[in-house]
């Protein structure tokens, strides 16, 4: 007996940032030299590779915990539960609350504690804590919540993923165009039937891969070396993901007892459209079957990469009917998967 989702919610910031926003940016290479390509060409290549046309940024008055609170409140309302019955509030993020126009991360008290207070939960034995696990943080928090519920430690858990990556990007790095802000949340409780989480897998590759995503100085040599921004080795990440994520997905699906033919959807971290497509293609190649049409919903084109928020936000959109081409029905089997800083990989199979 495992746990099942009884409510979902998300928050998609209202500030739409198109690729034209970056027209006047001075993009530099790692040595501090201006890139030879003009910004229109850079934006065109970004769209070709990642699929991103637009992304959403939080308003200047919001921080990550504010976004998480809105998503959490929506999930609670969707579930119809009394928030006082929650045993855990788990908040997945990576950079804490970063106020607009500042460079300092604030994660004390924890973001989970902050939204618990915003939700006005009086139950002192509702435990609130944060998890830092890169982009796979929300899935890892779901896996932890599932373990709490299966063991009898908890009956209900609120799992939130929120991030404001727009606050931690180097404006001189073209990779800054990928990142976005957002939040998603789900309520888990014990399942009394065969629905819910069926299997899960997690892995951390650190020996050689630890610094594929890291915090580093600006490409602008005139900027303070003490100020750090999110940086990535895109080629290394792509190769790593293509080599390791499909195998993890297969292992997770095989352990669930379901066949590849029974899989109805794959909800994968919205990191890069081409990379995600390549991962799913490689996954189906492991079973020597063609990729079914409409198996993988994608919203990165309009929402960008909001790290831990992409999967719960996308799940909410599907369940709420916001994506005309994608539906999830009772008894559908869905594979969730993610990859990110650490380098971490995880997945779980879920029956609705």
Task: Indicate whether 52 and 123 sit together in one domain.
Answer: yes
Task: Indicate whether 69 and 148 sit together in one domain.
Answer: yes
Say if residues 143 and 348 touch (Cβ distance below 8 Å).
yes
Average pLDDT, the chain: 94
Q: Quick one: average pLDDT of 256-282?
A: 95
Q: Using one digit for the tens of pLDDT, what is the confidence trace for 64-114?
A: 999 999 999 999 999 999 999 999 999 999 999 999 988 889 999 999 999
Task: Indicate whether 261 and 291 sit together in one domain.
Answer: yes
Residue 24 confidence (pLDDT): 84
Burial category of 314 from C-beta neighbours within 10 Å (exposed 0-12, middle 13-18, buried 19 and up): buried
Helix, coil or strand: residue 91: strand
Q: Report the 10 Å Cβ neighbour count for 321.
A: 9
Q: How many domains does the chain have?
A: 2
Task: Indicate whether 252 and 175 sit together in one domain.
Answer: no
Q: Kindly tell me if the per-residue pLDDT of 2 is higher than 90.
A: no
- Who wins on pLDDT, 157 or 222? 157
Question: What is the domain extent for residue 222?
Answer: 198-351
Residue 43 confidence (pLDDT): 84
Last residue of a domain, one of 139, 171, 192: 192
Look-up: residue for tokens 């939960």? 121
Task: Indicate whether 134 and 228 sit together in one domain.
Answer: no
pTM of the predicted structure, to 2 decimals: 0.94
Task: Indicate whether 211 and 147 sit together in one domain.
Answer: no
Residue 30 confidence (pLDDT): 85
Task: Indicate whether 277 and 295 sit together in one domain.
Answer: yes
Percentage, residues of the chain above pLDDT 90: 81
Task: Indicate whether 92 and 203 sit together in one domain.
Answer: no
> If we measure between CA atoms, which residue out of 132, 128, 183, 124 comes closest to residue 158?
128
Last residue of a domain, one of 140, 174, 192: 192
Last residue of a domain, one of 192, 213, 228: 192
Residue 225 confidence (pLDDT): 77
Residue 165: both structure tokens together: 């990556």
> If we measure between CA atoms, which residue out of 275, 254, 273 comes closest to residue 335?
254
Q: Using one digit for the tens of pLDDT, what is the confidence trace for 190-247?
A: 999 999 999 999 999 999 999 999 988 988 888 877 788 999 998 999 999 999 999 9
Residue 219 confidence (pLDDT): 87
- What is d(CA 324, CA 318) in angstroms, rounded to the nearest whole number? 8
Say if residues 268 and 310 touch (Cβ distance below 8 Å).
no
Q: Using one digit for the tens of pLDDT, what is the confidence trace for 25-39?
A: 888 888 888 888 888
CATH of the domain at 247: 3.40.47.10
Task: Indicate whether 206 and 324 sit together in one domain.
Answer: yes
Q: Quick one: average pLDDT of 316-328?
A: 95
- What is d(CA 4, CA 81) in angstroms, rounded to the nearest whole number? 14
Q: Report the 10 Å Cβ neighbour count for 317.
A: 19
Task: Indicate whether 211 and 99 sit together in one domain.
Answer: no
Task: Indicate whether 136 and 158 sit together in one domain.
Answer: yes
Residue 207 confidence (pLDDT): 95
Residue 104 confidence (pLDDT): 86
Residue 36 confidence (pLDDT): 83
- What is d(CA 124, CA 302) in angstroms, rounded to the nearest whole number? 40
> If we measure between CA atoms, which residue out of 311, 159, 334 comes closest to residue 249?
334
Task: Indicate whether 84 and 179 sit together in one domain.
Answer: yes
Burial category of 26 from C-beta neighbours within 10 Å (exposed 0-12, middle 13-18, buried 19 and up): exposed
């Amino acid at each position: 007996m495992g746990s099942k989702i009884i409510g979902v919610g998300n928050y998609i910031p209202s500030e739409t940032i198109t690729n034209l926003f970056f027209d006047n940016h001075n993009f530099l290479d790692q040595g501090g030299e201006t890139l030879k390509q003009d910004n229109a060409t850079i934006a065109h290549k970004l769209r070709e590779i990642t699929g991103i046309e637009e992304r959403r940024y939080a308003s200047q008055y919001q921080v990550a915990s504010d976004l998480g609170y809105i998503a959490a409140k929506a999930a609670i309302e969707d579930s119809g539960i009394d928030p006082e019955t929650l045993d855990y509030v788990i908040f997945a993020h990576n950079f804490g609350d970063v106020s607009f126009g500042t460079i300092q991360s604030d994660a004390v008290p924890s973001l989970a504690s902050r939204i618990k207070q915003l939700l006005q939960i009086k139950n002192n034995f509702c435990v609130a804590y944060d998890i830092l696990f890169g982009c796979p943080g929300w899935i890892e928090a779901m896996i932890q919540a599932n373990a709490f519920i299966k063991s009898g430690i908890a009956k209900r858990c609120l799992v939130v993923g929120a991030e404001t990556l727009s606050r931690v990007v180097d404006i001189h790095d073209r990779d800054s165009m990928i990142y976005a802000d957002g939040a998603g949340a789900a309520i888990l409780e014990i399942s009394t039937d065969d629905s819910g989480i069926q299997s899960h897998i997690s892995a951390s590759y650190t020996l050689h891969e630890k610094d594929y995503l890291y915090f580093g100085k600006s490409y602008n040599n005139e900027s303070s070396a003490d100020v750090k921004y999110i940086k990535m080795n895109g080629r290394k990440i792509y190769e790593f993901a293509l080599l390791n994520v499909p195998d993890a997905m297969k292992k997770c699906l095989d352990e669930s007892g379901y066949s590849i033919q029974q899989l109805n959807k794959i909800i994968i971290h919205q990191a890069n459209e081409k990379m995600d497509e390549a991962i799913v293609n490689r996954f189906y190649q492991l079973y020597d079957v063609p990729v079914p049409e409409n198996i993988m919903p994608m919203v990165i084109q309009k929402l960008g990469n909001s790290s831990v928020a992409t999967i719960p936000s996308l799940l909410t959109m599907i369940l709420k009917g916001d994506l005309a081409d994608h539906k999830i029905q009772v008894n559908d089997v869905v594979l969730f998967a993610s990859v990110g800083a650490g380098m971490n990989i995880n997945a779980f199979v879920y029956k609705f």
